[in-house]
Amino acid sequence: MTLLTAMLAAVAASTAAAGNLDVPNALQIADGPALIPDAQLRRAISPAGFWGGTYTTSTNEHVTIYISDSYPQDQAVGQRWANFLASLLHGSEISQVAIYLAPPAQVSQLCGGQDILGCYGENQLIGPGEDQPGITAESVIAHEYGHHIAAHRSNPPWPAVDWGTKRWASYINVCRRTRAHELFPGAETSLIYKFNPGEVFAETYRVLNEQRLGLPITPWLVVDESLQPDTRALQLVQEDVTSPWTSNHTTTLRGTFARRGSSVRTFKVSTPYDGTLATSLRAASGERLRINVHTQTICGARTATLRVTRTAGAGAFSLVVSLP
């Protein structure tokens, strides 16, 4: 028996007095606490001490659900949890996650902190298998699944799991507000947890699922009130889930320098998303040019000014711009 297996067995034994395994109800994702203290899962978890496996959902997708041996085995409830997960807004990342449901005390031990409600890391999500006073298991799982979505989205040069997804993070100005020390990506300490954009994204995702179910939007308590999503923020999260941003696109700007006349051409380009802008110049034979920007981090600015200067020669040129 490995050390991890022994640890999991000991944890399972210590939680033998678990409550009843919750039968999930999507309508309960709105019933969450004022704070969802969660953490990043620091080590891989083994299925030893858990039952369940891979279920085929009502949407014909495959979801892996493991349930602590502290709960009596009931494959029908495992199937209900798989269907609950598939009812949340999701993409292809759903087939890559393993959900571990356990009694609250076991969750805290596996996640590495007292009173931790859930944790996520490396495609493994640990959450409660039962409701607690004022806290439904569904609300915690929906929040944590938001982290899984972000972990499978691209937002270079930043990790989306900490900064949020590309369109949403650009809209709420995560980069600019981080530079201004208003937001703190990756923060898990209680004082600045509510200003962690990774947590804001996960909670916005949970609220989006509330909205899709036609539920009254619950008070915004998990993260700072100033970060409460408006309609546009929720729309962008939906886009980032169902139609993820994947990579920069390029646009080509063209111009000509005559032998007589101005030696400077200025272009303005729209930069709707934060990220990395890069340029490359193609000059005519004998023409020498320089550009004011080779690479630049777009951080809150929604236009960029590019200036091409001729230093010798004349002729047509093209400026290729890579934009997020």
Judge contact between 97 and 125, C-beta under 8 A. Answer: yes
> How many residues can be counted in the chain?
324
Residues 227-241 pLDDT 10s:
999 999 999 999 999
Prior bond of 229 cis (ω within 30°): no
Strand-by-strand arrangement of the 124-128 sheet:
38-40, 118-121, 124-128, 98-102, 62-68, 50-56
pLDDT of 10 > 70? The answer is no
Q: What is the pLDDT of residue 36?
A: 60
pLDDT tens across 166-225, in order?
A: 999 999 999 999 999 999 999 888 788 899 999 999 999 999 999 999 988 777 777 888
Range with lowest mean pLDDT among 20-29, 34-43, 305-314:
34-43
Coil, helix or strand at residue 256: strand
**Residue 188 has what pLDDT?**
81
3-class DSSP state for residue 27? helix
Rounded mean pLDDT, 148-167: 99
d(CA 84, CA 176) in angstroms, rounded, equals 36
> Residue 271 — pLDDT band, cuts 50, 70, 90?
very high
Q: Model-level pTM?
A: 0.90
Sheet holding 295-298, edge to edge: 249-257, 315-323, 275-283, 295-298
- Residue 249: phi and psi, rounded to 5, are -120, 160
Q: pLDDT, tens digit, for every residue of 40-92?
A: 676 777 888 999 999 999 999 999 999 999 999 999 999 999 999 999 999 99
Lowest mean pLDDT among 3-7, 179-183, 216-220, 318-322: 3-7
Sketch the domain layout of the chain as residue ranges.
3-242, 249-323
- Rounded Cα gap, residues 130 and 118, in angstroms: 12
Q: What is the mean pLDDT of the chain?
A: 90
Copy the structure tokens of residue 318.
């093209």
Residue-level pLDDT at 38: 60
**Collapsing DSSP states into helix, strand and coil, what is residue 161?**
helix
* Cβ atoms 53, 64 nearer than 8 A: yes
Q: In what order do the strands lie in the sheet with 288-291?
A: 264-270, 303-312, 288-291
DSSP, res 173: T
